[in-house]
């Protein structure tokens, strides 16, 4: 989850703007929880999956 679409109940602003201390704390907490793949674009994820599939096919053909 990203803080781009979250609205703060304290100041009614976007959490990504960081208007109040509650926004800034939540934004920091969300950034700590993000997994390594959260920073990748969908195109980069598809390229990674395609590369892994290609390696799997090559390995399978080499063993056959």
Q: Domain-by-domain residue ranges, the chain? A: 1-33, 37-64
**Is 47 in a helix, a strand, or coil?**
helix
3 phi/psi in degrees, rounded to 5: -95, 10
Say what the pLDDT of residue 1 is.
54
pTM of this structure: 0.47
Listing DSSP states for the chain in one string gives: --SSS-B-TTTSSBGGGT-SHHHHHHHHHHHHH--GGGGS-HHHHHHHHHHHHHHHHHHHHHH-
Q: What integer pLDDT is reported at residue 2 of this predicted model?
A: 60
Residue 45 pLDDT:
86
pLDDT tens digit at each of 64 positions of the chain = 566 778 888 898 888 888 899 988 888 888 777 777 667 788 888 999 999 999 999 999 988 7
């Amino acid at each position: 989850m990203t803080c781009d679409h979250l609205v703060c109940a304290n100041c009614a602003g976007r959490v990504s703007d960081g208007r109040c201390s509650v926004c800034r704390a939540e934004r920091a907490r969300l950034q700590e929880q993000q997994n390594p793949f959260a920073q990748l674009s969908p195109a980069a994820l598809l390229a990674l999956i395609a590369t892994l599939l290609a390696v799997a096919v090559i390995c399978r053909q080499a063993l056959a």
